[in-house]
Structure 1
Amino acid sequence: MTEASTSLAGSYVEIPIKGKLALITGATGGIGAATARLFAKRGVHLALHYFSQHEKAQALVAELTALGVRCVAFKTDLADFDAVRKLHADVVAQLGHPDILYNNAAMSGRILGIHAKIENVDIEDMEMCWRVNNGASFLLTQLCVPHMEEQGYGRLVFCSSIAAATGGVVGPHYASSKSAMHGVMHWIAKQYSRSGITCNAVAPALIANTEMFNAPTAAHRDLIPVGRFGQPEEIASIVELLVTNSYMTNKIVVADGGMLPSSLA
């Protein structure tokens, strides 16, 4: 290889995540908690957002602090944008600027099922889903990116859903909020890739032991080629990949047990 081609190729430099600070929204849910546990084992300090599960949040803080990392829980209503701004300010004041942002929290609104009609969708559900699932994640990303750009390092991950591609069974209010998330992710990834910031999404389907999918049935299981439901830890491992690989950006990783043949657009 010539000197010129070597220069163009660049070189791989491993950037450890130990000692970094991650902000995880929806951290008391199945996927959020599993990701927090995995990060803590890697030595990542944690800012854990929650909405209503105070006791669960404090128990998780105690569990993760025992692993030797700094960990603080922050109660916030993500539907309130002023509260979202305060969440970011409080995290910075108590722990510092996040190096990793996992926009994991989401609301489904009323679950309508596969036989619903468009008139069954309340406009309030549509608005609230977009406000929490898109507005809050966009605002937090907007608040976190400037410091990431300044330091030349940042990891942004959005938790999407297979419903973004298929429509899902919850309803158009939820599915559309997730598909819209992809446009935001793609734009950010392209704008900031040369600033040391990667931006990706993970799109799970039928993950057991989560609040959103807490009543699985045999009919649900039969939809999955691998013949079982996913586990929160399996989604957490994908998030780990997305924050440790500095060459992977602008991607949506689908974890659905083989339901779709490839990644979402």
Structure 2
Amino acid sequence: MSLRFLFSPPMTLPLQGKLALITGCSGGIGAASAVALAAKGCSIAVHYNSAKIAAETLVQMLTTVHGVQAQAFQADMADYDAVRGLHAAVVAAMGNPDILFNNAGTTGKVVGKAGNIEDVTIEDFEKTWRTNTGSSFLLTQLCLPYMVSQKYGRIVFNSSVAAGIGGVIGPHYASSKSALHGMVHWIAVRYAKQGVTCNAVAPALIEDTTMMSNPSDEIRNMIPIGRLGKPDEVASVVETLVSNAYLTNKIMVVDGGLTPSAF
């Protein structure tokens, strides 16, 4: 083995210079994923809905600590016109995204495991689906043509173990997340030969997020590993899904042992 090989300069990072659009990026899993990808050289389009200060603080950190380009963009993901406007604003300011992490979502009304189906109004059902599923579909639809033209793209959806086991929120939330899996499987197979991978991460009970801001002891005790997960533990899986060109059509469960397999 030559000394030249041993001491050769490092190769350019696979994600260096790529642009990642991350929805729901002002905190929790979104912010942790932004930090993980920025550390690999990605520029970050930081989407937020109402947490403007948190988003701007994250942008400042990404630009100063990691030296990448980052900007914040506001949009209500329950509004399809706002989703279209988000994509247009990102393209105008930073260019077309190479990476899309559809992370934004809502629980809607929490009815719990023992709730009744009539406790979920059709209006709440439709808003939950629009935010969690429809907006993710639309943003993916808008981003895919550029990815195909470049023969490179990474799409990741943030699902939930609720998609496979029902979860603790309600049928509106669980069904909106399971629908993402069908999109993953279709998109992954359809666009694999165009250099686009498509996967989902399915977390369970991740603390320091809006959904798990005040978990009960009963919820904590559900996790075999004995604790809730951390946003950066999910972010490390997102980083893998984005970095690995041979990994596609997969639902990666991150749940501390709650489910024995990928559903």
> How many angstroms apart in 2 are the aligned matches of 1:170 and 1:71?
33
Residues 1:226 and 2:225 are matched in the alignment: yes
Q: Is the 8 A contact 1:112 1:120 kept in 2?
A: yes
Q: Is the 8 A contact 1:15 1:244 kept in 2?
A: no
Q: Is the 8 A contact 2:208 2:230 kept in 1?
A: yes
Q: TM-score, with normalisation over the residues of structure 2?
A: 0.94
Which of 27, 43, 56 is equivalent to 2:54?
56
> How many angstroms apart in 1 are the aligned matches of 2:149 and 2:123?
38
Secondary structure of the corresponding residue to residue 200 of structure 2: strand
**1:216-262 deviation per Cα after TM superposition (whole angstroms, max 9, x unaligned):** 22221211111111000000000000000000100000001011111
Q: Percent identity?
A: 58
Q: Which amino acid aligns with 1:237?
A: S
Aligned to 1:17: 15
Secondary structure of the corresponding residue to residue 212 of structure 2: coil
| Runs of 4+ residues deviating >4 angstroms | none
> How many angstroms apart in 2 are the aligned matches of 1:220 and 1:90?
40
Gaps of 5+ in 1: 1-13
> How many angstroms apart in 1 are the aligned matches of 2:218 and 2:80?
39
**Paired residues for 1:1-265 under 5 Å:** 16-66=14-64, 67-264=66-263
Secondary structure of the corresponding residue to residue 123 of structure 2: helix
Gaps of 5+ in 2: 1-11
**1:97-123 deviation per Cα after TM superposition (whole angstroms, max 9, x unaligned):** 000000000011011112211111111
Q: Is the 8 A contact 1:152 1:197 kept in 2?
A: yes
**1:108-151 deviation per Cα after TM superposition (whole angstroms, max 9, x unaligned):** 10111122111111111100011011110000000000000000
Secondary structure of the corresponding residue to residue 228 of structure 1: coil
Q: How far did 1:15 drift?
A: 7.2
Stretch of structure 1 that moved more, 210-219 or 253-262 = 210-219
Secondary structure of the corresponding residue to residue 23 of structure 1: strand
> How many angstroms apart in 2 are the aligned matches of 1:116 and 1:199?
34
**1:167-189 deviation per Cα after TM superposition (whole angstroms, max 9, x unaligned):** 11110010000001110111000
